[in-house]
Amino acid sequence: MIVEGKNAVKELIKAGRTIDKICVQKGDKMAESLAFAAKEKGAKAVFCTKENLDKLSPSGKHQGVVAYTTDFTYSDVDDILAGAEGTRLVVILDGVEDPHNLGSILRSAECLGAAGVIIGKHRAVPVNDTVIKTSCGASEYVKVARVTNINDVIRDLKELFFKVYAMDMDGKDIAAADLSGDVALVLGAEGSGVSALTKKLSDGCVRIPMTGEISSMNVSVAAGIGMYEYTRQRKG
Protein backbone atom coordinates (compact mmCIF):
# COMPACT_ATOMS: atom_id res chain seq x y z
CA MET A 1 0.00 0.00 0.00
CA ILE A 2 1.21 3.52 -0.84
CA VAL A 3 0.57 6.21 1.77
CA GLU A 4 1.28 9.88 1.05
CA GLY A 5 1.33 13.05 3.10
CA LYS A 6 3.32 14.12 6.13
CA ASN A 7 0.65 13.71 8.79
CA ALA A 8 -0.50 10.31 7.53
CA VAL A 9 3.03 8.92 7.32
CA LYS A 10 3.98 10.47 10.66
CA GLU A 11 1.14 8.58 12.36
CA LEU A 12 2.10 5.35 10.58
CA ILE A 13 5.57 5.61 12.07
CA LYS A 14 4.26 6.63 15.50
CA ALA A 15 1.81 3.70 15.57
CA GLY A 16 4.50 1.21 14.59
CA ARG A 17 3.11 0.19 11.20
CA THR A 18 5.71 -1.66 9.11
CA ILE A 19 7.11 0.63 6.41
CA ASP A 20 9.22 -1.09 3.78
CA LYS A 21 10.41 2.04 2.00
CA ILE A 22 9.95 5.78 2.39
CA CYS A 23 10.73 8.29 -0.33
CA VAL A 24 11.06 11.93 0.67
CA GLN A 25 11.83 15.21 -1.02
CA LYS A 26 15.39 16.46 -0.66
CA GLY A 27 15.64 19.71 1.28
CA ASP A 28 12.26 19.36 2.99
CA LYS A 29 13.36 19.18 6.61
CA MET A 30 10.14 17.73 8.00
CA ALA A 31 10.00 15.10 5.28
CA GLU A 32 13.64 14.22 5.86
CA SER A 33 13.01 13.85 9.61
CA LEU A 34 10.26 11.35 8.81
CA ALA A 35 12.71 9.44 6.64
CA PHE A 36 15.23 9.21 9.48
CA ALA A 37 12.50 8.12 11.94
CA ALA A 38 11.29 5.42 9.57
CA LYS A 39 14.86 4.30 8.89
CA GLU A 40 15.42 3.79 12.62
CA LYS A 41 12.53 1.31 12.52
CA GLY A 42 13.95 -0.65 9.61
CA ALA A 43 12.61 1.15 6.55
CA LYS A 44 14.69 1.88 3.49
CA ALA A 45 14.94 5.66 3.05
CA VAL A 46 15.29 7.25 -0.38
CA PHE A 47 15.80 10.98 -0.97
CA CYS A 48 14.22 12.20 -4.20
CA THR A 49 13.52 15.31 -6.22
CA LYS A 50 9.99 16.67 -6.30
CA GLU A 51 9.74 15.54 -9.92
CA ASN A 52 10.55 11.96 -8.98
CA LEU A 53 8.03 12.01 -6.14
CA ASP A 54 5.40 13.36 -8.53
CA LYS A 55 5.89 10.23 -10.62
CA LEU A 56 5.63 7.94 -7.59
CA SER A 57 2.57 9.65 -6.12
CA PRO A 58 -0.83 8.20 -7.14
CA SER A 59 -2.61 11.47 -6.33
CA GLY A 60 0.13 14.00 -7.06
CA LYS A 61 -0.43 15.46 -3.57
CA HIS A 62 2.38 13.77 -1.69
CA GLN A 63 3.55 16.76 0.44
CA GLY A 64 7.10 15.54 -0.02
CA VAL A 65 6.55 12.04 1.40
CA VAL A 66 5.60 8.72 -0.18
CA ALA A 67 5.73 5.57 1.96
CA TYR A 68 5.32 1.93 0.98
CA THR A 69 3.72 0.03 3.82
CA THR A 70 1.82 -3.11 4.72
CA ASP A 71 -1.89 -3.30 3.96
CA PHE A 72 -4.38 -2.05 6.52
CA THR A 73 -5.31 -4.63 9.17
CA TYR A 74 -9.00 -4.87 9.96
CA SER A 75 -10.40 -5.75 13.37
CA ASP A 76 -13.25 -8.05 14.30
CA VAL A 77 -16.43 -6.58 15.74
CA ASP A 78 -15.59 -8.38 18.99
CA ASP A 79 -12.23 -6.55 19.05
CA ILE A 80 -14.04 -3.22 18.76
CA LEU A 81 -16.39 -4.01 21.63
CA ALA A 82 -13.73 -5.52 23.87
CA GLY A 83 -11.29 -2.66 23.41
CA ALA A 84 -13.65 0.12 24.51
CA GLU A 85 -13.88 1.39 28.08
CA GLY A 86 -17.15 2.37 29.70
CA THR A 87 -20.12 3.00 27.46
CA ARG A 88 -19.49 2.39 23.79
CA LEU A 89 -20.26 4.25 20.58
CA VAL A 90 -20.05 2.30 17.33
CA VAL A 91 -20.45 3.85 13.88
CA ILE A 92 -21.92 1.63 11.16
CA LEU A 93 -21.64 2.68 7.51
CA ASP A 94 -24.22 1.32 5.10
CA GLY A 95 -22.62 1.48 1.66
CA VAL A 96 -20.38 4.57 1.92
CA GLU A 97 -18.33 4.54 -1.28
CA ASP A 98 -16.26 7.74 -1.22
CA PRO A 99 -12.82 7.20 0.35
CA HIS A 100 -12.64 10.86 1.38
CA ASN A 101 -15.86 10.46 3.38
CA LEU A 102 -14.62 7.31 5.08
CA GLY A 103 -11.31 8.98 5.92
CA SER A 104 -13.07 11.98 7.43
CA ILE A 105 -15.37 9.72 9.46
CA LEU A 106 -12.38 7.83 10.86
CA ARG A 107 -10.79 11.13 11.85
CA SER A 108 -13.96 12.23 13.68
CA ALA A 109 -14.29 8.80 15.29
CA GLU A 110 -10.77 9.04 16.69
CA CYS A 111 -11.25 12.61 17.93
CA LEU A 112 -14.62 11.89 19.56
CA GLY A 113 -13.78 8.56 21.15
CA ALA A 114 -15.84 6.09 19.13
CA ALA A 115 -15.05 2.45 19.90
CA GLY A 116 -14.82 1.66 16.21
CA VAL A 117 -16.31 1.85 12.73
CA ILE A 118 -18.01 -1.02 10.91
CA ILE A 119 -18.14 -1.11 7.11
CA GLY A 120 -19.47 -3.63 4.61
CA LYS A 121 -17.38 -5.78 2.29
CA HIS A 122 -19.66 -5.18 -0.68
CA ARG A 123 -20.64 -1.93 -2.41
CA ALA A 124 -18.52 0.05 0.06
CA VAL A 125 -15.05 1.56 -0.02
CA PRO A 126 -12.32 -0.35 1.89
CA VAL A 127 -9.60 1.35 3.90
CA ASN A 128 -7.20 2.28 1.11
CA ASP A 129 -4.39 4.78 0.70
CA THR A 130 -6.80 7.68 0.06
CA VAL A 131 -8.76 6.85 3.22
CA ILE A 132 -5.58 6.74 5.27
CA LYS A 133 -4.34 10.07 3.93
CA THR A 134 -7.72 11.77 4.41
CA SER A 135 -7.93 10.49 7.98
CA CYS A 136 -4.63 12.27 8.72
CA GLY A 137 -3.38 9.18 10.53
CA ALA A 138 -6.56 8.48 12.52
CA SER A 139 -6.87 5.13 10.72
CA GLU A 140 -3.96 3.90 12.84
CA TYR A 141 -5.94 4.40 16.05
CA VAL A 142 -9.54 3.59 15.13
CA LYS A 143 -10.58 -0.06 14.92
CA VAL A 144 -12.37 -0.82 11.66
CA ALA A 145 -14.31 -4.04 11.07
CA ARG A 146 -15.23 -5.10 7.53
CA VAL A 147 -18.24 -7.41 7.58
CA THR A 148 -20.28 -9.36 5.06
CA ASN A 149 -23.67 -8.24 6.37
CA ILE A 150 -24.14 -5.13 8.50
CA ASN A 151 -27.74 -6.10 9.30
CA ASP A 152 -26.48 -9.22 11.08
CA VAL A 153 -24.15 -6.99 13.08
CA ILE A 154 -27.05 -4.73 14.04
CA ARG A 155 -29.04 -7.75 15.26
CA ASP A 156 -26.05 -8.88 17.33
CA LEU A 157 -25.55 -5.41 18.83
CA LYS A 158 -29.20 -5.20 19.84
CA GLU A 159 -28.86 -8.51 21.66
CA LEU A 160 -26.02 -6.84 23.58
CA PHE A 161 -28.46 -4.02 24.51
CA PHE A 162 -27.04 -1.43 22.14
CA LYS A 163 -29.46 1.28 21.06
CA VAL A 164 -29.22 1.43 17.28
CA TYR A 165 -30.21 4.67 15.55
CA ALA A 166 -30.23 5.25 11.80
CA MET A 167 -29.44 8.83 10.84
CA ASP A 168 -32.19 9.82 8.43
CA MET A 169 -33.96 13.03 7.40
CA ASP A 170 -37.33 11.62 8.53
CA GLY A 171 -36.15 10.84 12.06
CA LYS A 172 -36.62 12.79 15.28
CA ASP A 173 -34.22 15.48 16.43
CA ILE A 174 -31.03 13.72 17.55
CA ALA A 175 -30.78 16.04 20.55
CA ALA A 176 -34.06 14.55 21.83
CA ALA A 177 -32.91 10.96 21.39
CA ASP A 178 -31.71 8.92 24.35
CA LEU A 179 -28.03 8.32 23.63
CA SER A 180 -27.23 6.92 27.06
CA GLY A 181 -25.61 3.51 27.36
CA ASP A 182 -24.12 1.70 24.40
CA VAL A 183 -25.11 3.27 21.08
CA ALA A 184 -24.65 2.46 17.40
CA LEU A 185 -25.17 5.18 14.80
CA VAL A 186 -25.92 3.99 11.27
CA LEU A 187 -25.19 6.24 8.30
CA GLY A 188 -26.07 5.44 4.72
CA ALA A 189 -24.56 5.73 1.30
CA GLU A 190 -24.04 9.06 -0.40
CA GLY A 191 -27.32 9.93 -2.10
CA SER A 192 -29.44 6.90 -1.20
CA GLY A 193 -28.99 6.97 2.58
CA VAL A 194 -29.65 4.07 4.94
CA SER A 195 -31.37 1.12 3.27
CA ALA A 196 -35.01 0.36 4.15
CA LEU A 197 -34.28 -2.97 5.88
CA THR A 198 -31.48 -1.45 7.94
CA LYS A 199 -33.78 1.37 9.08
CA LYS A 200 -36.44 -1.18 10.00
CA LEU A 201 -33.95 -3.13 12.12
CA SER A 202 -32.86 0.01 13.95
CA ASP A 203 -34.51 1.16 17.17
CA GLY A 204 -35.37 4.44 15.53
CA CYS A 205 -34.24 7.18 13.18
CA VAL A 206 -32.65 10.47 14.19
CA ARG A 207 -31.97 13.59 12.19
CA ILE A 208 -29.87 16.71 12.44
CA PRO A 209 -32.21 19.74 12.41
CA MET A 210 -31.36 22.12 9.57
CA THR A 211 -32.61 25.55 8.60
CA GLY A 212 -31.04 26.01 5.16
CA GLU A 213 -32.43 25.36 1.70
CA ILE A 214 -30.39 22.18 1.21
CA SER A 215 -32.08 19.25 2.92
CA SER A 216 -29.13 16.93 3.54
CA MET A 217 -25.51 16.99 4.73
CA ASN A 218 -22.42 15.21 3.54
CA VAL A 219 -22.28 11.83 5.29
CA SER A 220 -18.95 12.57 6.96
CA VAL A 221 -20.27 15.85 8.38
CA ALA A 222 -23.43 14.13 9.62
CA ALA A 223 -21.35 11.39 11.24
CA GLY A 224 -19.22 13.95 13.05
CA ILE A 225 -22.28 15.78 14.38
CA GLY A 226 -23.88 12.51 15.47
CA MET A 227 -20.75 11.44 17.35
CA TYR A 228 -20.44 14.86 18.95
CA GLU A 229 -24.05 14.71 20.19
CA TYR A 230 -23.26 11.35 21.80
CA THR A 231 -20.33 12.87 23.71
CA ARG A 232 -22.29 16.06 24.52
CA GLN A 233 -25.07 14.13 26.22
CA ARG A 234 -22.51 12.41 28.41
CA LYS A 235 -21.04 15.70 29.54
CA GLY A 236 -24.48 16.94 30.51
CATH number at residue 28: 3.30.1330.30
Distance, in Å, from the CA atom of 164 to the CA atom of 145, rounded to the nearest integer, reads: 17
Same domain, 123 and 203: yes
Is residue 192 within 8 Å of 168, Cβ to Cβ?
Answer: no
Same domain, 95 and 40: no
> Residue 113: left (phi > 0), alpha (psi -120 to 50), or beta?
left
Could you give the number of structural domains in the chain? 2
Same domain, 86 and 191: yes
**Parent domain of 182:** 77-235
Distance, in Å, from the CA atom of 139 to the CA atom of 105, rounded to the nearest integer, reads: 10
Domain end marker among 38, 69, 100: 69
Average pLDDT over residues 82-86: 81
Same domain, 49 and 123: no
Domain end marker among 69, 89, 111: 69
Backbone angles phi, psi at 91, to 5 degrees: -105, 125
User: For the purposes of burial, counting CB atoms within 10 Å of the CB of 197, is it exposed (0-12), middle (13-18) or buried (19 or more)?
Assistant: exposed
DSSP 26: T
pLDDT for 87 beyond 90 = no
Average pLDDT over residues 104-114: 96
Same domain, 62 and 29: yes
Place 236 in a pLDDT band, splitting at 50, 70 and 90.
Answer: low
In sequence order, what E strands does the chain have? 2-4, 19-25, 44-48, 65-69, 89-94, 116-120, 144-147, 163-173, 183-188, 204-207
Same domain, 59 and 116: no
Same domain, 65 and 81: no
pLDDT on residue 84: 77
Instruction: Note the pLDDT tens digit of each residue in 167-223.
Output: 998 899 999 999 999 999 999 987 888 999 999 999 999 999 988 887 778 999 999
Same domain, 60 and 110: no
Q: Across all residues in the chain, what is the average pLDDT? A: 93
Same domain, 150 and 222: yes
